[in-house]
Copies of this chain bind each other. A is one copy, B any other.
């Protein structure tokens, strides 16, 4: 196995460790950093066959660093690697920001890496963490260095370089895709709740069943799946609001979705009043 088959994935969260497992299955070596992470991360990393390494060792050995962290940590991670990348004087790995961050944030991360003389690619992971026997999520890649990442395909990852697209485009793709899928979930939740408040819930369900059966079937999955994720979607909706831009009135669509998800997250963790109403509308729970 050549040194070019070594990559780093920081950090070993649910997505990062699942990607690492896929890479290891394809003969790759995956380094990771456990700095600041707890015991669960350590166990996940070990179970996925990841090797702990310091930042200097990662820069010395890895061909690529995949940054897969919570959105709020993305810029800080890029800035943390600027110093070791500067020390490598252009011979270090390509730094790929795979996180669900706004366009401005990913550009700032790219500038931090570029100032250190490093190479930077904007990445967007669309799909769920890879599972054995499934294709796994798509890795969209944009920026001038995106073509340098063909080795990831050999490591079992479904890469989709965006020809000619600048840094920011992959993040824009992720935001706009999430805006459609999670925006639809917000629209549906808002209308189900308002219809139920007005006594029109059963008729709305009946009319959707007749004239929009595909949407109703979708809601039966996507709305209950949302409850446990709504707390994470608040910041994502706010990032989409900023991505649209305050000059466009439709940015309010996503500000409103953020407010709804904040309330539903609290409800799902507590009284289950509104989420219970949605469940009853969908017929997934007995009338109460």
B215–A192 touching, CB < 8 Å: no
Name which of A203, A210, A245 has the most chain B CB atoms within 10 A of its CB: A203
Is A204 an interface residue when CB atoms closer than 8 A count as contact? yes
Query: Which residue of chain B has its CB nearest to the CB of A218?
Result: B214
Name the residue of chain B whose CB is nearest to the CB of A180: B191
CA distance A199 to B162 in the complex (A): 10
Q: Are A199 and B181 in contact (CB under 8 A)?
A: no
Report the contact-size class of chain A (Cβ under 8 Å from the partner): 35 or more
Cβ of A103 under 8 Å from chain B = yes
Tell me whether A198 is interfacial, beta carbon within 8 Å: yes
With an 8 A cutoff between CB atoms, is A84 at the interface?
no
Asked whether any CB of chain B lies closer than 8 Å to the CB of A64, the reply is: no
Task: Give A166 to B198 CA distance when docked, in angstroms.
Answer: 9
* Contact residue among B168, B180, B191, B207 (Cβ-Cβ distance under 8 Å from A138): B207
Least Cβ distance of A167 to chain B in Å? Answer: 10
0/1 string, A10-50, CB within 8 A of B gives 1: 00000000000000000000000000000000000000000
Query: Which residues of B lie under 8 Å from residue A170 when comparing CB positions?
Result: 200, 203
Q: Would you call A176 and B195 a contact (CB within 8 A)?
A: yes
In chain A, positions 126-153 with a C-beta closer than 8 Å to chain B are 126-127, 138, 140, 142
Partner among B165, B199, B252 whose Cβ is within 8 Å of the Cβ of A252: B252
Interface residues of A in 163-211 (CB under 8 A from B): 165-166, 168-170, 172-173, 175-177, 179-181, 183-184, 186-195, 198-200, 202-204, 206-208, 210-211
On whether A192 and B176 interact (CB within 8 A), knowing A160-B203, A211-B126, the answer reads yes
Determine the distance from Cα of A202 to Cα of B164 in the docked complex, in whole angstroms.
11
Chain B residues, CB < 8 A from A231: none
Cβ contact within 8 Å between B214 and A214:
yes
Q: By the criterion CB–CB under 8 Å, are B177 and A207 in contact?
A: yes
Q: Which residues of B contact A51 (CB under 8 A)?
A: none
| Complex contacts, A183 vs chain B, CB 8 Å | 187, 190-191
Q: Are B256 and A260 in contact (CB under 8 A)?
A: no
Instruction: Jot down 14 A-B pairs with beta carbons below 8 A, ordered by A.
Output: A138-B210, A140-B207, A160-B203, A162-B200, A172-B199, A173-B195, A181-B212, A184-B187, A186-B253, A190-B253, A198-B243, A249-B255, A249-B259, A250-B260
Rank and list the top 10 A-B pairs by shortest CB-CB distance, nearest first. Answer: A249-B259, A252-B256, A172-B198, A253-B256, A183-B187, A176-B195, A190-B250, A172-B200, A250-B260, A173-B200
Q: 20 more A-B contacts (CB under 8 A) besides A173-B207, A186-B253, A198-B243?
A: A140-B207, A162-B202, A165-B199, A169-B198, A169-B199, A172-B195, A172-B198, A172-B200, A175-B194, A176-B192, A176-B194, A177-B207, A177-B208, A181-B212, A183-B187, A183-B190, A184-B215, A187-B187, A187-B253, A249-B256
